[in-house]
Structure 1
Amino acid sequence: MLFTLLKRHFGNELNNIVWLVLLYLIQGIPIGLSFGTIPFLLHKHATYTQIGIFTISTYPYSLKLLWSPIVDSYFVQSFGRRKSWIVPIQILAGIVFITISFFIETLLEHAETKIIYITIVFFLLIFLMATQDIAVDAWALTILSKPYLHYASTCQTIGLNTGYFLSYTIFLTLSSPKFANKFLRSVPSEEGIITLPGYLQFWGILFIILSIYLAFFKDEESTTITTTTTRHDNYNNNNNDDKNKQVKSKIENESIESKSMRSSPSSLSPSLLSSPVKKQNKKNKQHISIDKKDITIIKENNENNEIIDNNNSNNNYDNGKKSIVQETYGMDISESDLTPKQVYYLLWKIITLPHIKILSILFIISKIVFQPNESALNLKLLEKGLRKEDIASFSLIQFPSIIIFSIISSKWVKNKPLTIWSNAYLVGVFFILVNMCSVFYFPNLNGGEISWSHFFLLLMISLFSSFSYNLMSVSQGSFFLKISDKSIGGTYVTLLNTIANFAGTYPKLFILMLIDKLTTSECIVNISNDNSSSSSSSSSLISTSSNNLTTTTTIIQEQQQQVIIHDNISKELCAEQNGKYRIERDGYYLVATGAIIYGVFIYFVLKRYLTPIEKLKL
């Protein structure tokens, strides 16, 4: 039934849409593991500093613009421009998945000494997926025919988020022994329905199978572009036919689309072409041509062929101003003709523009404020007793809500995007305080489950926090599109998004290290001396666990018991030894309080230096 409806709606295009969704889903699998699941699994055996080191593995997704010109320029023509990258990358990622499945559990259990190896493995996986994303983004705009081109962003959203949820929410839920024993099993077990090694092996094999099928049974297809024109008696003269063919050829080979979707897993630039199509026919009063907004009405003056582009009236071409490409390389060169070296030089020129430098500096110094929430909040809730699957389930409700909110908020940010961004920033700072209070007043569960009322409260706090961050994202995206030089629209927007994304990624390591340094905790374990051999055995076991976390162990003998104290051991390991976990000083509250004060100060800095940029005529 569903297939019939989809086939009726999409026709022969359904096959290409399914392929795009699958390719984006594959990217979402390691992304969900690196950004969501692995930090939770590390929490039991690793310190906050070590989890911060692991966050370095996520950097490639924020920095993929640095090598995207290479992906665009080098390929095997006979195999396919995009398949030349997608197929070998997926096969390599599949091999890495299968290989690490045999020792991933050992690495996680010894995370204190193996954190560098874990980080390198997942850094490689994210680098491969970021590179594949460059190729898939570009292929998305050529594999679909023009009437269905707008579905590219939908494929990206569905695929990436589905993969992310499979590796984060679904995996954490099904791998939980408590969830499986309560809802899925009649006979209890100490393991969940799925395990991490089995999950990695399954996807590794599937990666390779899909890659082989893609290599031999899927051809790269080009979009057929058709122009619709008004009918005039002499429109189809030979001269215009020749020009139509030239224009069509140029459009089909345009490469800007490969750069327009590289900001993040959930963004897709609407820019398709770098310049409007210009036709000259003195006898025609009006005709329609293709540009970035698909159809532009061009009026031509019979005397001097003056062209007025209604959709691009704010372009950098106005009033005789040259684009950055024209200024650098001449009037006739287009973005598709640029070599990687030329693209890198243009990127440097963009970064050195005065307003871009101010924008970049303000992003870098301002976004660090939100890291106590983004990096440590879920770990603190986990430490308080909230289950991993409960935290992961927040995303199921957040995702559709944020999609709807994004559509609504896009209408608010049109005229004053940076003003909205600054105001949303202050709201985000307020929710740092709210989230800190939610941790401080979290109820003592004593091994039980959280009440539905408190779960709903945490969900609402998480949802409204996400709204403020999403409003900032929509605002900055709107402003980036507004100021981008249309001659290199894709590259320009992607560079700005790269700066913004990296500003929100780099501080994670430093914030988690700071929280770790400012936190002091201990685990007190009472061991009876009635059975000396048992006592010796238990003492040895606990000492081994503490050594894995580079903690300090103190043994105090009093009458009939030994009191073993571990400094800075995780709460989960302490509970496994039937110990009493106590935090003497929690660095999270200190860092979050500092972030709130700093954020209020930065808000006034933003109002003074950031919001005036939106008034500039760029």
Structure 2
Amino acid sequence: MDSVETTKFITKKEENFVDEDDCEPNKPNLKGDWSNIFLLILLYTIQFIPHGIVISFPIIIQSKKSVTYNQQALFSMVNWVFITKILWSPIIESLYVRKIGRRKSWIITSQYIMGILFFYMAINIDIWIPESEKPNINALVILLSCLFCWANVQDIALDGWSITMLKKNNVGHSATCNSIGLVLGDTICSIFLIILTSEDFCNKYLRTAHGTGGIVTIKGFLYFWSVTFILITTLLWIFKKEKDIKLNDSAKKINIIQSYKIVWSILKKPSVRILVIILFTVKISFVATDHLTILKLIDLGIPKENLSLIKLLMDFCKVIVPLAGSKYTSGPKPMSAVFKIFPLRLLWSITFLILIYYTPNLIKENGIVNVPQYYYIILGLIMGVNEILRFSMAVFKTGFISRISDPLFGGMYIALLNTASNMGPLLSKTVALKMVKVLTFSKCSNDFRNNNYSTSVLKPSCDTNNGNYLVTVDGYYVEVIISMIIGLIWYLSCKKPIKNLQKLSLSHWSIK
């Protein structure tokens, strides 16, 4: 997910609020913190394995040619679990086993449960995603939603632990650990679930003799991570101690009811409500290009493993973006960078329309798919530029959220704003997938009554009557154009409010 895909720049500590303008931060020095850095990277990596699975599975099931966009819309509801993150945050902040640790209690619990869910999923995955039959979308949605739910718990707890695990002058490096973990988690899933499970790819590049299936199976991948989660969690429980927060935190412990009241106090601030609306709507303009393009390319005949290789190269760009953009994320107005990138990304959507339109002519010879090398270069360039622009916006947006969040209640503050940021694109993604069929119009070459053959009732009759199925209006193009119009309206409407929000002092955002 996009926001799950965003780097978290948590640069404040949980103590009495101090305006950044009033003090000079200590210079970062990783001496004595390297072991904590590597531990955080490891924990963030396994945290994003479920995220990588949810990104990979739609590509896997779409390549089987037996899944409709409506079913993809149903599967996308797995991501809705991110919307519930704000409901978990006050509970995690309030309830814990002090002997184990405030955040460690939840991390250990969530990782053990995820290990068990991976094991159960491995047992049933061949039934849920069979080779020749339609996948069981309902079962996948239910189990992956449970998995994501506990990944959310770990995310909240690990964000909080990273602040106290590192030295005060090194807290900013938690964002880098998160970014690297995100890239590694998604990359591992792309390589092992899509590329190495592909029979064609393995026979072409990795085997000396023709074989059946890939060199890795989905079941084996899930069994491996089941054991790995349980092993890492056990070692973490035994060998890593969490600092006693009472030694460092002068704030009084609050109960669950008080935690939810604090969330409501944050949301009652007029500036926060305006920011929530902006964050909710900012990504809707790109939902078609971000989530429909890959599925459309697979439908046109581009091999899923080749698309994953291109995505793999783009993932490494995500590590560079936070470093290159540190001038903006650490500055007073990171949202200004978002506003500079937004129109560029909006215009870049046109390149996807052109690419999809000409793809059938570029990759087919005499009706047979034969993708030339230059096509992959063009595709990689278009997707690469879009990915850099997309991730840059996410990083700068997250930098602004981290900058304004009250350090005393950072977990809940960030969770609330990230929930708003996630909710818009997640809901619009499901709607976009649902609407592809509604906005697509087709006809049959031997039917002169202009009936819409996109419906499941009439489409088979065209084949029966030896007609040619012709798409007259493709819902993909319609959705991209509508999204661009929405984006233009958003840009003109939100420019002034964003400038005003950035002018507010940090004390304005704190909870009095």
Give the corresponding residue for 2:122: 101
Cα gap change, 1:410 to 1:89, in 2 (>3 Å): closer
For the 8 Å contact 1:169–1:395, the answer to whether it is kept is: no
Q: Give the counterpart of 2:218 among 188, 196, 218.
A: 196
Give, in whole Å, the separation in 1 of the partners of 2:105 and 2:186. 25
Matches within 5 A, 1:344-383: 344-383=260-299
Cα gap change, 1:508 to 1:112, in 2 (>3 Å): farther
Q: Give the counterpart of 1:505 among 426, 434, 453.
A: 426
Cα gap change, 1:14 to 1:606, in 2 (>3 Å): closer
Q: Which amino acid aligns with 1:200?
A: L
Q: Which has the higher helix share?
A: 2
Cα gap change, 1:78 to 1:452, in 2 (>3 Å): same
Give, in whole Å, the separation in 1 of the partners of 2:236 and 2:125. 29
Cα gap change, 1:195 to 1:582, in 2 (>3 Å): farther
Give, in whole Å, the separation in 2 of the partners of 1:614 and 1:587. 38
Q: Which amino acid aligns with 1:357?
A: R
- Superposed displacement of residue 509, structure 1: 0.5
Give, in whole Å, the separation in 1 of the partners of 2:172 and 2:114. 29
Q: Give the counterpart of 1:587 among 470, 475, 485.
A: 475
Cα gap change, 1:172 to 1:79, in 2 (>3 Å): same
Cα gap change, 1:460 to 1:564, in 2 (>3 Å): same
For the 8 Å contact 2:363–2:372, the answer to whether it is kept is: no
Give the corresponding residue for 1:181: 203
Q: Which amino acid aligns with 1:502?
A: M
Q: Give the counterpart of 1:602 among 481, 486, 490.
A: 490
Pairing 1:435–2:456 present: no
For the 8 Å contact 1:553–1:564, the answer to whether it is kept is: no
Give, in whole Å, the separation in 1 of the partners of 2:307 and 2:321. 21
Matches within 5 A, 1:100-249: 100-109=121-130, 114-144=136-166, 151-215=173-237, 217-222=238-243
For the 8 Å contact 2:179–2:318, the answer to whether it is kept is: no
Give, in whole Å, the separation in 1 of the partners of 2:41 and 2:465. 57
% same residue: 29
Q: Give the counterpart of 1:403 among 311, 319, 332.
A: 319
Give the corresponding residue for 2:75: 54
For the 8 Å contact 1:410–1:474, the answer to whether it is kept is: no
Give the corresponding residue for 1:273: none
- Superposed displacement of residue 53, structure 1: 1.6
Give the corresponding residue for 1:460: 381
Cα gap change, 1:93 to 1:478, in 2 (>3 Å): closer
Give, in whole Å, the separation in 2 of the partners of 1:392 and 1:512. 21
Q: Which amino acid aligns with 1:444?
A: I
Query: What TM-score does the superposition give when structure 2 sets the normalisation length?
Result: 0.80
For the 8 Å contact 2:101–2:242, the answer to whether it is kept is: no
Give, in whole Å, the separation in 1 of the partners of 2:133 and 2:277. 35
Q: Which amino acid aligns with 1:492?
A: Y
- Superposed displacement of residue 152, structure 1: 3.6
Query: What TM-score does the superposition give when structure 1 sets the normalisation length?
Result: 0.67
Give the corresponding residue for 2:405: 484
CA deviation profile, 1:69-98 (whole Å, cap 9, x unmatched): 212322223344334322332222222222
Pairing 1:73–2:94 present: yes
Give, in whole Å, the separation in 2 of the partners of 1:614 and 1:485. 15
For the 8 Å contact 1:520–1:586, the answer to whether it is kept is: yes
CA deviation profile, 1:192-217 (whole Å, cap 9, x unmatched): 111111211221122223333334x3
Cα gap change, 1:114 to 1:523, in 2 (>3 Å): farther
CA RMSD for the aligned pairs? 3.2
- Superposed displacement of residue 590, structure 1: 1.0
For the 8 Å contact 2:49–2:189, the answer to whether it is kept is: yes
Q: Give structure 2 stretches of 5+ with no counterpart.
A: 1-28, 446-454
Give the corresponding residue for 2:253: 337
- Superposed displacement of residue 555, structure 1: 5.8
Give, in whole Å, the separation in 1 of the partners of 2:47 and 2:357. 37
Pairing 1:41–2:63 present: no
The SS at the match of 1:505 is: helix
- Superposed displacement of residue 119, structure 1: 0.8
- Superposed displacement of residue 218, structure 1: 1.8
Q: Give the counterpart of 2:391 among 462, 467, 470.
A: 470
Give the corresponding residue for 1:424: 341
Give the corresponding residue for 1:19: 39
Give, in whole Å, the separation in 2 of the partners of 1:149 and 1:353. 27
Pairing 1:85–2:106 present: yes
Give, in whole Å, the separation in 2 of the partners of 1:63 and 1:180. 40
CA deviation profile, 1:296-322 (whole Å, cap 9, x unmatched): xxxxxxxxxxxxxxxxxxxxxxxxxxx
- Superposed displacement of residue 104, structure 1: 2.0
- Superposed displacement of residue 101, structure 1: 1.9
Bigger Rg, structure 1 or 2: 1
Pairing 1:444–2:363 present: yes
Give, in whole Å, the separation in 2 of the partners of 1:594 and 1:556. 30
For the 8 Å contact 1:364–1:503, the answer to whether it is kept is: yes
- Superposed displacement of residue 25, structure 1: 2.1
Matches within 5 A, 1:232-271: 252-254=247-249
For the 8 Å contact 2:179–2:319, the answer to whether it is kept is: no
Cα gap change, 1:418 to 1:383, in 2 (>3 Å): same
Give, in whole Å, the separation in 2 of the partners of 1:522 and 1:132. 50
Give, in whole Å, the separation in 2 of the partners of 1:145 and 1:615. 30
Cα gap change, 1:222 to 1:417, in 2 (>3 Å): closer
Give, in whole Å, the separation in 1 of the partners of 2:112 and 2:46. 11
Cα gap change, 1:151 to 1:480, in 2 (>3 Å): closer
For the 8 Å contact 2:119–2:226, the answer to whether it is kept is: yes
Give, in whole Å, the separation in 2 of the partners of 1:132 and 1:522. 50
Give, in whole Å, the separation in 2 of the partners of 1:148 and 1:411. 17
Cα gap change, 1:438 to 1:13, in 2 (>3 Å): same
Matches within 5 A, 1:289-304: none
CA deviation profile, 1:199-252 (whole Å, cap 9, x unmatched): 11221122223333334x3241439xxxxxxxxxxxxxxxxxxxxxxxxx86x4
CA deviation profile, 1:141-194 (whole Å, cap 9, x unmatched): 444456765554443333332122111244211111111001111221231111
Q: Which amino acid aligns with 1:129?
A: A
Cα gap change, 1:494 to 1:174, in 2 (>3 Å): same
Give, in whole Å, the separation in 2 of the partners of 1:487 and 1:78. 22
Q: How many residues align?
A: 461
Q: Give the counterpart of 2:435 among 514, 521, 528.
A: 514
- Superposed displacement of residue 39, structure 1: 0.7
The SS at the match of 1:506 is: helix
- Superposed displacement of residue 107, structure 1: 2.1
